[in-house]
Amino acid sequence: MYTQSFNVPDGDAQPGAPLKAVPHDTSLQAHFDAVIDADGKIEPRDWMPDAYRKTLVRQISQHAHSEIVGMLPEGNWISRAPSLKRKAILVAKVQDEGGHGLYLYSAAETLGTSRDQMFDALHSGKAKYSSIFNYPTLTWADVGVVGWLVDGAAIMNQIPLCRCSFGPYARAMIRVCKEESFHQRQGFESLMTMMQGTAEQKAMVQDAVNRWWWKCLAMFGPPDADSPNSVQGMRWGIKRISNDDLRQKFIDATVPQAEVLGVTLPDPELKWNEERGHHDHGQIDWDEFWAVVNGDGPCNKERLATRVKAWNDGAWVREAALAHARKQQERAMKEAA
Ligand code: FAQ
């Protein structure tokens, strides 16, 4: 059901789209290549190769979907947060994720793909979103671990995207990263509080870390050798650091944080390698990763059904907003006449 890549129609731009693909022209291509080589920015009105546009729509829309599907595992705990303070923090965080989705959908729209098309791809199961959000948040400690590890992995991947060659994506990521950084810290602080609590609380944190660690490592995507989009993505300055290198940076940054927290990362092979100047680690279960990406994770069906229901339940809001906008426009035209 989720196996297809997100196919962006090759036809003409959609209504409201800022530009149309122009026939291939070597001088336009040369200008595009020169901007990329000079590490400059491509803006929506600039000419760009169709494949560059298609790759960006694929990645940015998948990213947007991840943000809004990512609201669900944590949103599940808002009504059960253990204190008013934790509830306020969690509400703000989940709201931020919704905002990230909106910046990203807007960035993708500048490439000539409508929001309706992107939602349709999500709701029909054609579009991907991050594997990590297909796992359940079983206890309150999971909420802290999602902040610490999932947001921690997200920041590691997203900081280089602030230098992405496509201007609207790069600019959106600057704000997103600032907010993700707060998310990561609140997760760590929440876990730190639990680790100073009872033996049951400490065990709950350790259990959550055990369940999320490997899934977070897989979030960075397949190994470089099995990553079909990496070479071209890096050539175009969309990706700046490879999947494996980001994963390694995340592991190296997280090990000392786990020590401060007092938890064990569930990998007996995890150890510092003096020669490499990095931590060695055990094997990630890529069969599990692909099963989840292909729709067979523990929560894939539930996540998609929740998004489709939210879309259907929100139909009256969209209709009312459009009717209001129409009325305002009519009034403005009457006044101008
Ligand atoms: N899950 O050739 P590559 C967040 C797919 S936001 C599912 O390496 P690429 C915030 C990939 O799409 C988290 N599918 O692909 C938050 C491709 O399939 P396709 C999301 C995955 O694009 C926190 C195929 O595998 N972040 O967490 C995954 O060069 C807490 C081959 O892979 C972003 O989207 C995966 N994990 O590199 C919210 C960041 N990994 O499309 C709420 C932007 C790979 O050809 C709570 N995206 N695939 O059919 C990226 O940086 C890249 O797209 C990668 C994948 C690194 C994800």
Find the mean pLDDT for residues 165-178: 96
Return the higher-pLDDT residue of 61 and 13.
Answer: 61
Q: Which residue has the tokens 């992107």?
A: 118
Q: Hey, which bits of the chain come out as E strands?
A: 271-273, 278-280
Query: Quick check: 133 pLDDT over 90?
Result: yes
Q: Whose CA is nearest to atom 5 of ligand 1?
A: 221
CA of 176 to the centre of ligand 1 (A): 16
Residue 263 has pLDDT above 70, yes or no: yes
The Cα 166–Cα 253 span in angstroms is 28
Q: Tokens for 214?
A: 């490997």
Residue nearest to atom 39 of ligand 1 (CA): 63
**In the predicted model, what is the mean pLDDT of residues 198-205?**
98
Confidence of residue 19 (pLDDT cuts 50, 70, 90): very low
Q: What is the pLDDT of residue 284?
A: 98
Whole-number Å distance, alpha carbon 69 to ligand 1 midpoint, is 13
Helix (H) or strand (E) holding 327: helix 315-336
Phi, psi of 268 (to 5 degrees): -65, -20
For the chain, what is the radius of gyration of the CA atoms?
22
Q: What is the mean pLDDT of residues 70-97?
A: 97
State mean pLDDT over 30-40.
97
In the chain, the largest separation of any two C-alpha atoms, in whole Å, equals 77
Rounded mean pLDDT, 265-285:
98
Identify whether the C-beta of residue 91 lies closer than 8 Å to the C-beta of residue 78: yes
Quickly tell me which residue has 């929740």 as its tokens: 306
Cα 203 to ligand 1 centroid, rounded to whole Å: 31
Say whether pLDDT at 280 is over 50.
Answer: yes
Residue nearest to atom 11 of ligand 1 (CA): 221
Q: Mean pLDDT in the chain?
A: 93
**How much distance in Å is there from the Cα of 220 to the middle of ligand 1?**
7
